[in-house]
Amino acid sequence: MSGFDGLPPELFTFFERLRQDNSREFWDANKSTWVTMVHDPFEALLAELAGEFPPMRMFRPHRDVRFSKDKSPYKLWVGATSESRAIGGTGYYLRVDESGLATGYGSMVLARDQLRRFRAAIDDDHSGRQFEELTTQLATASLPVTFGAEPPLKTSPPGYPKTHPRIEHLRWKGAAMVKEYDRADWMYTRQALDTIRGIWRAAEPLKQWMDTHVGASVQPVAGPNRSRK
């Protein structure tokens, strides 16, 4: 596999065509395009990011349709993450589809033990102010930190007053910095690598704060019906 020279235009058009015909027949007829124009360039990109950043795990192209009404068999995107768990994972993320590129760092959904530590750190005057400062710093650089995949609580979490000076962040169930780009010609060049690397480097203050005050989860992944207030 050669070095990364950019994401081929054919990567984006492959997903356009797959969206129009998301069938096994289309996939089998175009498997070579998936390998040469999607899988291999994306894997080359991840290889160049390795070393400075944790190893990335590429998502498989097949959808899990067991509990979905949508039975289309293939994902309309290619992506990778440095984490193995959706709930409780904190790490780097990268996704490309026909419309463009999204990448960032953080936890989309905190596990219960992480959520307790996150709120305790936000409540603490020193670490809470640090979080406010780093989110302001990143927002100024057009890299806002958001609450992740789940909407914040509408009320204050148990044990915290509604008048808390950082009540907005106490209501969060995740903390992630995600940057999205519409499809553009620079993605066909090595600028794509430089852009992703720059975003991940910019996430260092958030990473250090999360590593220090939240850490990895040691609890099982919460089931879909478990309350996480």
Here the CATH number for the domain that contains residue 59 is 3.30.930
Asked if residue 193 is part of any domain, the answer here is: yes
Ordered strands of the 57-58 beta sheet: 57-58, 77-81, 91-97, 100-107, 175-182, 145-146
Asked if residue 105 is part of any domain, the answer here is: yes
Chain segment 55-102, per-residue pLDDT in tens? 999 999 999 888 888 889 999 999 999 998 889 999 999 999 999 999
Mean pLDDT of 184-208: 98
Q: How far is CA 76 from CA 15, 44, 98, 101, in A?
A: 6, 20, 8, 13
Asked if residue 4 is part of any domain, the answer here is: no
Chain segment 97-129, per-residue pLDDT in tens? 999 999 999 999 999 999 999 999 999 999 999
Helix axes 204-213, 125-140, angle to 10 degrees: 160
Q: Of all helices (H) and strands (E), which one includes residue 204?
A: helix 204-213
Eight-class DSSP state of 38: I
pLDDT > 70 fraction of the chain, expressed in percent and rounded: 95
Asked if residue 201 is part of any domain, the answer here is: yes
Secondary structure of residue 159 in the 3-state scheme: coil
Identify the band that residue 141 occupies on the pLDDT scale cut at 50, 70 and 90.
very high
Residue 34 pLDDT: 97
Asked if residue 130 is part of any domain, the answer here is: yes
Q: Is the pLDDT assigned to residue 27 strictly greater than 60?
A: yes
Task: Give the residue numbers spanning the domain of 137.
Answer: 9-213
Asked if residue 208 is part of any domain, the answer here is: yes
Q: Is the pLDDT assigned to residue 41 strictly greater than 70?
A: yes
Give the range among 44-48, 62-66, 195-199 with minimum mean pLDDT: 62-66
Q: Is the pLDDT assigned to residue 223 strictly greater than 90?
A: no
Selection from 95, 1, 12 nearest residue 43 by Cα = 1
Q: Of all helices (H) and strands (E), which one includes residue 94?
A: strand 91-97
Asked if residue 2 is part of any domain, the answer here is: no
Read off the tokens for 153: 């609580």
In whole angstroms, what is the distance from residue 202 CA to residue 105 CA? 10
Cβ 72 vs Cβ 63: under 8 Å: yes
Query: How many structural domains is the chain composed of?
Result: 1
